């Protein structure tokens, strides 16, 4: 089973320069390879493979001597990533690959092999960079795969190591109606469970908006290209980074709790890209980050042998009475509570939706096991 472990790096000034140079080299090769692919298709009507691109890299190094400072395997990994991007474009329609910019908030490069992790000395030895101090806060066992070195917009350095621990993915555990729970994600409450429990939405972005506006105004007043502008940009990035870290920490805790307490978890399929087109709710939806939460649920369910169930996005989970099945067509977003005119049952809008999500998911015709 593959797992990724992320550690903080504390490079020296010289090592920072080396990492930045390697990032720049990989970015240059990626943009060059993308340009070659576009030209090949326009002129010959066919795409050039990554193997042909790799054969062209030595000549590119002769033309640009500074590329020799980078690890050769890292440069070859770039063409593999580009080919993966094109595969996703053709198969999953994820969008045509873009040229990389040094202004992107996160910059990174990959090291396929020949790196060493020493837990006793708290160092990681990287090709052409030597031993770099690292915060190895946890250990791992298994065969190391590709490592990814990244630099954040706040100037922090990290390394993410993919490890094959040799263990098989556990079999899915059997689940019943009693140990299955329905989850209705929302804005007012982050998640409402079919057992009546509500998980508050921390709204980290909303709480930081005042400070973000102040720092954004300070940044806009700074002269372009000045050191003060770079300092203001870093202050703004630190606030965004804090919000992101808070959100990730919250979602990890909630997802682990749900996975640990239930054998199966049912969700409603949401088209978040379409939902954020509503300008009144876009910021609140983005702050909740439902897609990121469900993604964490899915891979943790795989780790622990649990099951994620999904129902269709057009199922009337909110408008249907979970007791008698009455379909209330008059419910709008403003209505948070309602009474069923048929069975006179009082409904909390979100709890009723969570119960219906669980019911729909357990029906054979709607059951999708991930």
Whole-angstrom Cα distance, residue 65 to residue 61?
Answer: 5
pLDDT value for 370: 46
pLDDT classification of 331: cutoffs 50, 70, 90: confident
Task: With residue 103 as reference, give the H or E element that holds it.
Answer: none
Q: 359 and 369 in contact (C-beta within 8 Å)?
A: no
* Residue 350 is a catalytic residue: yes
Helices (H), 176-311: 204-221, 227-261, 272-275, 282-288, 290-304
From the list 83, 287, 315, 350, the catalytic residue is: 350
The yes-or-no verdict on residue 202 having pLDDT over 70 is: yes
| Residues 332-344 pLDDT 10s | 888 888 889 888 8
From the list 184, 302, 315, 337, the catalytic residue is: 184
- Tell whether the torsion through CA atoms of 322, 324, 325 and 330 is positive or negative: negative
pLDDT classification of 275: cutoffs 50, 70, 90: confident
Q: What is the mean pLDDT of residues 269-280?
A: 87
pLDDT classification of 156: cutoffs 50, 70, 90: very high
pLDDT value for 364: 57
Is the pTM value of this prediction over 0.85? yes
From the list 83, 268, 287, 315, the catalytic residue is: 268
Whole-angstrom CA distances from 83 to 15, 56, 71, 77, 218 are 30, 16, 20, 10, 41
| Residues 229-250 pLDDT 10s | 999 999 999 999 999 999 999 9
- Of 307, 295, 299, nearest in space to 367 by CA: 307
Whole-angstrom Cα distance, residue 300 to residue 296?
Answer: 6
- Tell whether the torsion through CA atoms of 283, 211, 6 and 171 is positive or negative: negative
- Percent of the chain beyond pLDDT 70? 98
pLDDT value for 365: 39
pLDDT classification of 316: cutoffs 50, 70, 90: confident
Whole-angstrom Cα distance, residue 93 to residue 273?
Answer: 14
Whole-angstrom Cα distance, residue 304 to residue 260?
Answer: 8
The mean pLDDT value of the chain amounts to 91
pLDDT value for 333: 82
The yes-or-no verdict on residue 199 having pLDDT over 90 is: yes
Whole-angstrom CA distances from 7 to 122, 132, 300, 334 are 10, 12, 20, 45
Tokens of 282: 């876009």
Q: What is the mean pLDDT of residues 284-293?
A: 92
- C-alpha angle with apex 97: 18 to 270, nearest 5 degrees? 110
Tokens of 42: 């326009």
> By three-state DSSP, how is residue 187 classified?
coil
Whole-angstrom Cα distance, residue 34 to residue 41?
Answer: 11
């Amino acid at each position: 089973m593959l797992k990724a472990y992320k550690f903080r790096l504390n490079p020296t000034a010289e090592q920072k320069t080396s990492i930045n140079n390697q990032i720049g080299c990989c970015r240059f090769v990626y943009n060059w390879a993308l340009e070659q692919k576009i030209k090949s298709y326009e002129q010959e009507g066919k795409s050039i493979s990554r193997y042909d691109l790799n054969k062209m890299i030595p000549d590119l190094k002769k033309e640009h001597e500074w590329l020799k400072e980078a690890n050769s395997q890292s440069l070859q990994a770039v063409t593999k990533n580009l080919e993966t991007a094109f595969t996703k474009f053709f198969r999953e329609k994820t969008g045509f690959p873009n040229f990389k910019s040094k202004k992107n908030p996160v910059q990174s490069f990959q090291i396929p092999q020949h790196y060493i992790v020493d837990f006793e000395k708290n160092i990681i030895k990287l090709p052409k960079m030597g031993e770099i101090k690292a915060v190895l806060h946890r250990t791992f066992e298994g065969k190391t795969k590709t490592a990814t070195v990244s630099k954040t917009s706040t100037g922090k350095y990290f390394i993410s190591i993919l490890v094959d621990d040799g263990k098989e993915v556990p079999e899915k555990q059997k689940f019943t109606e009693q140990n299955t729970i329905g989850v209705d994600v929302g804005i007012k409450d982050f998640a409402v469970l079919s057992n009546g429990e509500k998980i508050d939405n921390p709204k980290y972005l909303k709480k930081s908006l005042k400070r973000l506006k102040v720092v954004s105004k300070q940044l806009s007043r700074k002269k372009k290209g000045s050191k003060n502008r770079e300092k203001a940009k870093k202050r703004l990035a630190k606030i965004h980074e804090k919000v992101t870290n808070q959100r990730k920490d919250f979602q990890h805790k909630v997802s682990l709790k749900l996975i640990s307490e239930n054998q199966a978890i049912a969700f409603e399929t949401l088209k978040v890209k379409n939902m954020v087109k509503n300008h009144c709710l876009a910021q609140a939806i983005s702050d909740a980050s439902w897609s990121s939460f469900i993604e964490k649920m899915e891979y943790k369910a795989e780790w622990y042998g649990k099951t994620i169930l999904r129902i269709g996005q057009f199922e009337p989970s909110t408008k249907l009475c979970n007791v008698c099945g009455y379909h209330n067509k008059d419910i709008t977003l403003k209505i948070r509570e309602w009474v069923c005119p048929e069975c006179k049952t009082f409904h909390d809008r979100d709890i009723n939706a969570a119960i219906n999500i669980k019911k729909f998911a357990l029906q054979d015709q709607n059951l999708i096991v991930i």
